[in-house]
Amino acid sequence: MCRKKMISSILMLVSVLGINAQQLNYTVKTNSALLDDVVVYSSRFAEKFKRVAQTIDVLKTREQLNYQPNTADALINSGKLFVQKSQQGGGSPVIRGFEASRILMVVDGVRMNNAIYRAGHLQNIITIDNMVLDRMEILYGPSSTLFGSDALGGVISLSTKDPILSTTHKTQFSGATTLRYSSAMQENRGNIQLNIGGQKWASFTSVSYGSFGDLVQGSNRSAAYPNFGKRNIYVERVGNIDMIIPNSNPNKQIGSAYKQVDITQKFLYQGSEKVQHILNLQFSNTNDIPRYDRLSEISGGVPVFSEWYYGPQVRNMAAYHLNVKEQSGFFKDIKITTSFQDIEESRMARRFQNSSKDFRWERIKVFGLNIDAKHYFGKHELHIGAESYSNYVKSTAERTNILTGAKSRITTRYSDGPTSMATHAIFAQHTFKISDRLTINDGLRFNLVQLNAQFVDTSVTRFPFTKVKQSNQSITGNLGIVYATKNNLRAAWVFSTGFRSPNVDDLAKVFDSRTGLVVVPNTNIKPEYTYNIEFNLNKYSNSFSYGAAVFYTAFENALVLDKYLFNGQDSIFYSGVKSAVFALQNKARARIYGLSLNASVKLVESLSFEGVINFTKGQFRDAVNGITPLDHVPPTYGRVSLKRQGPKWNADFWVLFNGWKRLAEYNLNGEDNLQYATPDGMPAWYTLNLRSSFQLKKQIQLQVALENILDTNYRHFASGISASGRNLSLSLRLAY
């Protein structure tokens, strides 16, 4: 890319933004004027950030959350987290080199991670409608004391909007309609929200519908890789024959379109200021989502697959929240959440010019209970909690001849018999507010995870076992010290531990990670643990704010994918292809360390400069392979922006960037997906982007954005689909 173009674009932007605006509204975290103003909710009880040792990022503005194609894209455009994508309808966040089932996702206090969350790349975050999000908090580092299994690398806590009570003696009606259009993927999306508020009760309804066409990637490629990412051919079924069709526009990634519907319904009843009841209902449903990375695979000059798609992904959740505060008993504040989740997933695949189509379906039902209570005594606060989640998994599969309709048996993805997994825990989190400046956080948690999987039909798989049963116990803890001065300087040191017990996906799964490689169950795997030490620093002021975090994580008993013998054989036939046998094994001790920096400078009254950069390095050691790069570790990445904020219009010029991920830094047997990169790894890239929002009237807001102005062709590390090229997006919001 031409450096002159970048410089001229920045100069143009400065002239567009101007320096004579009237007002600047700082956002939480990097731009807050006062440390006392920053409040976080991830511990389930509101707490000032200056009292919390852990590094936490907060996203809460409409531009950050609601004016994005989906929740994964909201994280990408924040520059805070790295996100992998296997298809347009997805996004797998990475926190400090941990991904998928090694980080925990929570929505409205309910644990999303279920028994089949995989350790590879996980696309479930899009089932949370970003248009209904009120805030998103990212907790960095092991968080198992408060959140239990899976929080090895951190937690993403998502909070949706709550109903609002009437401020008068009359029932009040309010709401908003949002419409979005994006050119690069022909996004057509709409959202309608309605709030009905009485004095003691309220209802909030949100309905979203999104249609996304085939994603068009950037056309400006590096001279070293002139064909990288091009979709030159695709498969179309003509009569009973798979035909290879030339793509008239190789930048159009045919096989990436999808549609989605999201509905949220909440009811609130508040009989008094101290007791609140909320019924929370959520529904998300997609159509068939093509697995673009698999559809783009070529072998011998022809496509490997004619069809590979996820069937409709359905997420149903019903939760009841009881919030009680300022009580006279031992516990002053109490929160109880009961929940039920019903999740459906499926995978369908058919190889090129093959009449056999494989269907695999999963249904997961999850019953959850969270109890949190807080006791105050002098300068001490004691948070006592209990948690219980029970998962029930049903896995079925069949092969259908699309010409004759004949059906036959194939391996189910998971155990085909009764399969369950339960997590139970009790914990105590203590805060000692020694003074206005000094705070100590400490806590302990006891975890019990039980798994029982049964294999009924082993005639196809020929497993040497018919059931898998495990019961794992663990104690995790944390200790943190926070020092905050009166001039808004905060420094913290924290030690924390993480724990992840093997789930059904780890212990009872058979699948092809890539063509010619099959993963089989290993019943001897044990829990993984992380031990993290971190120092973080933040300084806030009206003119200059900055933050830094340095961490070192020891990853013990790490599960890695490696060569394995199945019934004494190192290769077997799977889906008609002779495949090398691999399995998850506790073979590694990994070390992950890194640094993140952020800063915000107020240039004039309405103009500010902001930036964030993240660096992570990881490697593991085992007896056979020695020192090897750890998979899932992203290259250096971040975001810098020049922002203008005022009462009538805002503007933001930002640069997203990723550094090189060289071939030597790839884990060849893990989930880094070298097959979707260049022969040298994944090239570095940056994009120039411009966004402006206008408050046309009190009720009408318009946002116009031009992303990837230079039409750069790029792909996120480990991703199997290229990012969008030059993209014009329009968002119109009408409040009423």
The per-residue pLDDT for 523 is 82
Q: Summarize the confidence of residues 216-235 as an average pLDDT.
A: 97
513 confidence band (pLDDT: 50, 70, 90)? low
The pLDDT of residue 515:
65
Mean pLDDT of 342-354: 97
pLDDT for residue 2 is more than 50: no
Which residue would you say has higher pLDDT here, 169 or 521? 169
Confidence of residue 5 (pLDDT cuts 50, 70, 90): very low
CA dihedral 373, 375, 376, 381 (to 10 degrees): -70
pLDDT surpassing 80 at residue 456 = yes
Per-residue pLDDT at 116 exceeds 70: yes
Q: For residues 611 and 164, what is the distance between their CA atoms, to the nearest angstrom?
A: 35
Give the pLDDT score at 626.
81
Say which amino acid occupies 95.
Answer: I
Rounded to whole angstroms, the Cα distance separating 13 from 16 reads: 5
User: Looking at residue 13, what is its pLDDT?
Assistant: 42
Tokens 């990097």 map to which residue? 30
Evaluate whether 314 touches 284 at the Cβ level (below 8 Å).
Answer: yes
More confident residue, 21 or 56: 56
Mean pLDDT of the chain, nearest integer: 91
Q: So what's the pLDDT on residue 8?
A: 45
Q: pLDDT tens digits, residue range 174-220?
A: 999 999 999 999 999 999 999 999 999 999 999 999 999 999 999 99
Q: What is the C-alpha separation between 595 and 537, in angstroms, rounded?
A: 12
What is the model's pLDDT at position 419?
96
Q: Range with the lowest mean pLDDT among 119-128, 266-275, 620-629?
A: 620-629
Distance CA 625, CA 453 (A): 32
Average pLDDT of 339-364?
97
For residue 7, pLDDT over 70 is answered with no
Q: How deeply is 599 buried, as exposed, middle or buried, from its count of CB atoms within 10 A (0-12, 13-18, 19+)?
A: middle
- What's the rounded Cα separation, in Å, for the pair 612 and 599? 7
Q: Residue 22 pLDDT more than 90?
A: no
Residue carrying the six token digits 């004691």: 382
**pLDDT(699) > 60:** yes
Domain residue ranges in the chain: 3-35+160-735
Highest mean pLDDT among 8-12, 140-144, 410-414: 140-144
Residues 6+ apart with CB under 8 A from 377: none
pLDDT band at 38 (very low <50, low <70, confident <90, very high): confident
On whether the CB atoms of residues 660 and 682 are closer than 8 A, the answer is yes
554-583 per-position pLDDT tens digit:
999 988 878 888 777 778 776 667 788 888
In whole angstroms, what is the distance from residue 82 CA to residue 76 CA? Answer: 6
- Would you tell me how many other CB atoms lie within 10 Å of the CB of residue 378? 7
Q: Kindly tell me if the per-residue pLDDT of 389 is higher than 50.
A: yes
CA-to-CA distance for 363 and 49, rounded, in angstroms? Answer: 39
Is the CB of residue 483 less than 8 Å from the CB of residue 502? no
Could you tell me which CATH class the domain 3-35+160-735 is placed in?
A: mainly beta
Condensed to tens digits (0 to 9), the pLDDT of residues 90-99 reads: 999 999 999 9
Q: Does residue 455 or residue 252 have the better pLDDT?
A: 252
Lowest mean pLDDT among 76-85, 574-583, 721-730: 574-583
Mean pLDDT of 294-301: 94
Taking the C-alpha atoms of residue 453 and residue 121, their distance in angstroms, rounded to an integer, is 23
Q: Are 27 and 60 in contact (CB under 8 A)?
A: yes
Which pLDDT belongs to residue 467?
85
* pLDDT for residue 327 is more than 60: yes
The average pLDDT across 62-70 equals 93
HSE of 668, CA atoms in CB hemisphere, 13 A: 7
Q: Can you give the C-alpha Rg of the chain in angstroms?
A: 25
